[in-house]
Amino acid sequence: MNKNYAFPLIVGLAVALFTVGCFGGKGGDSGPALPGPTVELAGSLSVPTTMNSDLLAKIEVPYSESVVRQKWASATVLVNGAVISIVSITPTSITPTWDIRLKSVPQTSNGLYKIEVNVGKLGLKSWIKESKKDSFTIDSRSTAAALLSQKLTELGVDKDTETLLATFPVFVSDIAKQIENAFATTEAGSVTTSIFSLTSVTGEVASQASLLKDVAGFNPTALVADLKLQNDLDGDGETDLQIVRNTDGSAVRFYTSLSASTTLFDGMTAIGDYTDPTMLADFAKDNTSQKRFFNADSKNFALGLFFKRSAAADIYLKLFVRKIDLVDGSFKGVISEYKYVTATSTALASGTKIFTLASETSALGTVAGSDFLTDGIGTATTLCFVDAARGLGSRDGSARLVRLMDGKPALADVSAAEKYLQGGINYFPNTTAALTNVFKDRAMEVGDSYSAYFPITKHYALFKIKAIATNTVTVDYRVNSVSGETRF
């Protein structure tokens, strides 16, 4: 029976530190001395999060995550086609990314090392240069880049893996997704020698290589993508740029997860024609539209899109469209160059709020409830002045919203809120409960500082008690509007 393991996440939660060194197969025999000069390679190994155990080498004992872990710790490692006999792969309980160290590796004259880590029918690769011998990475993306580089070489195109990872990350990501799917395939019997022989993998590699072979002349400082209807440009696993067709399929438009508004710069010959300051000025002046569609004849234009918001900076996307592959309503992709442009953050806001006691009617300038982004009535999931005994918090106590920041720090001195843990075990329904948690047997007082988490929008805020009256509480606050972002 095959089993899919949520595998190095299980390793990340392991209680014991597991360390295995593989030194030349059985018995730890290091083998005969290698002729010629040798080097040591050191880096990290990240295995996809799930895998089908039937793709591992034969295991005589019952499957378990520890057995799977041992198989990877004793993997067969090749460099430039030769088996390396002195190998140390160290799974730890701290992180799903493991240390890997290869000793007595024959030094190459061209400074290129093609590393392969194999366990049964599973494998990962990393083609590295001498400059990366102390800090290489082996994962699904490095494997995808290696396969793509190899295929391009067969087609007469010279692109090393560093260039592919740096300049063509979306091409690489599409292949990496197929590799990760292959690790977890439910049809292990269809894998003959290795997952790299699967049509899903070879087909994706061939498709991406064909696209790269047929397009040329890109700006070497830009990133390049063959955009589909949904795209993850920054590799975080979330769709951040989408393309939609009009009703008859004759044109497309672009938008991000943050906004459908775009700026436009037409008649370009290079991505640099639309300068970063000009694009940011267009957004500042609201020179944007949500109605721009482009047909198959449209090319050599740039769009500005609002891409990411964070406490550190806002990120805009400058997209230079080179070709729209759209024929008779059939969409195959958009060949584009792109760059990220940073600007001052709009995620953070600060101010003062006056909360009215829940039993009172809000007066002008006060609020009954707020998450510091939107004011309204006090609810279970917004902050409100419950009563004098419980202070500020969830109106009915069913949501965990606040946490005391010990020492009464100034809000400007706090760089991050405490991360909300699963179930909210480190947050509390109201300020009094938060104080009780740290053995302070009192109600809130002027000068107290708290972090707040709002479970509906999943954003964080900081607030400091400024004044307390019979029917109102005044607070100074800072809020970060980005979901899940703790930084300020």
The amino acid at residue 470 is T
User: According to the model, what pLDDT value does residue 426 have?
Assistant: 96
Place of tokens 């039937």: 54
C-alpha 105/C-alpha 172 separation (Å) is 28
User: According to the model, what pLDDT value does residue 436 have?
Assistant: 97
User: According to the model, what pLDDT value does residue 455 have?
Assistant: 96
**pLDDT exceeds cutoff 70 at 268:** yes
User: According to the model, what pLDDT value does residue 186 have?
Assistant: 86
User: According to the model, what pLDDT value does residue 19 have?
Assistant: 37
**pLDDT exceeds cutoff 90 at 371:** yes
C-alpha 60/C-alpha 71 separation (Å) is 12
Q: Any idea which of 13-17, 48-52, 145-149, 296-300 has the lowest mean pLDDT? A: 13-17
| Number of C-beta neighbours around residue 405 at 10 A | 20
User: According to the model, what pLDDT value does residue 222 have?
Assistant: 83
What is the average pLDDT across 157-172? Answer: 90
C-alpha 264/C-alpha 224 separation (Å) is 19
What is the average pLDDT across 16-45? Answer: 60
Distances (CA, A) of 449 to 17, 24, 58, 361, 414: 39, 58, 58, 26, 10
pLDDT band, residue 70 (cuts 50/70/90): confident
Residue 166: both structure tokens together:
């740096």
C-alpha 434/C-alpha 390 separation (Å) is 10
Residue 264: both structure tokens together:
């436009």
pLDDT band, residue 359 (cuts 50/70/90): confident
User: According to the model, what pLDDT value does residue 21 have?
Assistant: 40
Phi first, then psi, for residue 450 (nearest 5°) are -135, 155
Beta carbons of 293 and 262 less than 8 angstroms apart: no
Using one digit for the tens of pLDDT, what is the confidence trace for 447-488? 999 999 999 999 999 999 999 999 999 999 999 999 999 999
The residue among 203 and 327 whose pLDDT is bigger is: 203
User: According to the model, what pLDDT value does residue 6 have?
Assistant: 57
CA atoms within 13 A on the CB side of 32: 3
- Return the percentage of the chain with pLDDT > 70, whole number: 89
- β-bridge partners, 118: 76, 123
Contacts of 442 (CB under 8 A, 6+ apart): 432, 435
Q: CA 405: distance to chain centroid?
A: 29
* Mean of pLDDT over the chain: 88
- Return the percentage of the chain with pLDDT > 90, whole number: 70
Measured in Å, how far apart are the chain's first and last C-alpha atoms?
49
- Beta strands 20-23 and 86-90 are antiparallel
For the chain, state the CA radius of gyration.
Answer: 28
Of residues 390, 394, 412, the one with CA closest to residue 453: 394
Of residues 175, 177, 149, the one with CA closest to residue 162: 149
CA atoms within 13 A on the CB side of 464: 15
User: According to the model, what pLDDT value does residue 74 have?
Assistant: 87
pLDDT band, residue 9 (cuts 50/70/90): very low
Please give the torsion angle defined by the CA atoms of residues 98, 104, 106 and 107, in that order, rounded to the nearest 10 degrees: 80
What is the average pLDDT across 272-284? Answer: 96
User: According to the model, what pLDDT value does residue 192 have?
Assistant: 87
Listed in sequence order, the DSSP H helices in 28-91 are 65-73
**pLDDT exceeds cutoff 60 at 136:** yes
pLDDT band, residue 150 (cuts 50/70/90): very high
User: According to the model, what pLDDT value does residue 36 have?
Assistant: 82
What is the average pLDDT across 233-261? Answer: 92
User: According to the model, what pLDDT value does residue 95 have?
Assistant: 65
pLDDT band, residue 78 (cuts 50/70/90): very high
**pLDDT exceeds cutoff 60 at 61:** no
| Number of C-beta neighbours around residue 101 at 10 A | 14
Residue 121: both structure tokens together:
């029918």
Q: Any idea which of 12-16, 25-29, 394-398, 476-480 has the lowest mean pLDDT? A: 12-16
Q: What is the pTM of this model?
A: 0.67
What is the average pLDDT across 67-79? Answer: 87
pLDDT band, residue 167 (cuts 50/70/90): confident
User: According to the model, what pLDDT value does residue 59 have?
Assistant: 59
Boundaries of every domain in the chain:
4-214, 223-343, 348-480
Place of tokens 């690790």: 183
User: According to the model, what pLDDT value does residue 54 have?
Assistant: 86
**pLDDT exceeds cutoff 90 at 327:** no
Of residues 145, 152, 69, the one with CA closest to residue 114: 145
Beta carbons of 12 and 96 less than 8 angstroms apart: yes
User: According to the model, what pLDDT value does residue 51 have?
Assistant: 87
The amino acid at residue 449 is S
User: According to the model, what pLDDT value does residue 238 have?
Assistant: 84
